[in-house]
A = this chain, B = another copy of it.
Amino acid sequence: MKWAVISTWKMSYEGNLQASDILKNQGNAEEAVLRGIGIVEDDPSFHSVGYSGLPDIEGHVRMDAGFMHGRTLSFGAVGALEGFRSPVQVAHKLAERPTNNFLVGEGAAEYARKHGFEERDNLTDDSYQRYLEESGKLKPLSAYKGHDTVGFVALDRNGDLVSATSTSGLFLKDKGRLGDSPVIGCGFYADNEAGAAAATGLGEDIAKGVLCYQVCTLMKNGYSAQSAASQVVSDLTRSLTKRREHCDSISLICMDKEGNIGVGTNIPFAFVCADDTHPAQLYLAEPAEGDTRITLISATEISGID
């Protein structure tokens, strides 16, 4: 049976390669997405996830993550979690429980500590410097250009779909602010009978359209993954622009139950995908009159892409 994996932003390239290896070698989608995201969480050169993440208004790196398994609809999520190496691992562990799947703040940290997850202060000199430079400026908060939530969606050879996310959230967010990434339906969703999705961009705008659940509903109703993704992003962008005179950055990756991928975005957005017939490659998606234009990025162009 087919396997496939898609992930957000250029920063996910190395993780996507490793996730592909897992899927190719009969590993399951759960392991694949956790490995892929873990690599991004550990790399300090990616500023919006895990180590060296973007601080909140108090200068703390407080992180959000979500995980969902499409066979059982089990999900786990953490919000405003501080001091751990891999928020997505904690979210994954929480998905095993019948209740108490979504934990925030100190409660999430106590759970992670009790279950032996590795602790790490994700504030580095580099991220603190970035905080000092920007925290005094008065300007509206917006999605951090070109670096944001890492999301992975994968289908394994057993036909299981999984979605997961990890982020340090909106740069200079308020203490305790949750974005879409730990919110089921908004930042992530997976259902073996419909499809799976993950989102990146301004969480508050993504949430208004409950975007990941919506795109899965369209796939369940027979839309192709690509047409579903294009449609939900362009509909939400239009709706928010009409009702609120503004819509911030929104990008979405999704996959149907056959492993076909879809991408919707209202900004230029890089993503990585691989399947049993194609190795991991970087693509650029751009909005194109309600549709999405997707181009393969060649090695010579890669340095110019976020």
Residue positions of A touching B, CB distance < 8 A: 71-75, 79-80, 98-108, 110-111, 140-141, 170, 173-179, 183-186, 189, 202, 204, 207-210, 213-214, 217, 239-240, 243-244, 246
Given the complex, which residues of B lie within 8 Å of A173, measured CB to CB? 99-100
Question: Knowing A98-B204, A101-B204 touch, does A175 contact B239 (C-beta < 8 A)?
Answer: no
Given the complex, which residues of B lie within 8 Å of A185, measured CB to CB? 183, 185-186, 207, 210, 213
Question: Knowing A73-B239, A184-B186, A207-B75 touch, does A174 contact B217 (C-beta < 8 A)?
Answer: no
- Listed from nearest, the 3 A-B pairs whose CB atoms lie closest are A107-B176, A105-B105, A107-B175
Question: Knowing A71-B243, A213-B213, A243-B73 touch, does A178 contact B141 (C-beta < 8 A)?
Answer: no
Task: Report yes or no: A174 in contact with B204, Cβ–Cβ below 8 A.
Answer: no
* A57 CB to nearest chain B CB (Å): 9
* A12 CB to nearest chain B CB (Å): 25
Task: Report yes or no: B217 in contact with A175, Cβ–Cβ below 8 A.
Answer: no
Task: Report yes or no: A106 in contact with B175, Cβ–Cβ below 8 A.
Answer: yes
* A134 CB to nearest chain B CB (Å): 15
Query: Measured between alpha carbons, how far is A73 from B103 in the docked complex, in Å?
Result: 25
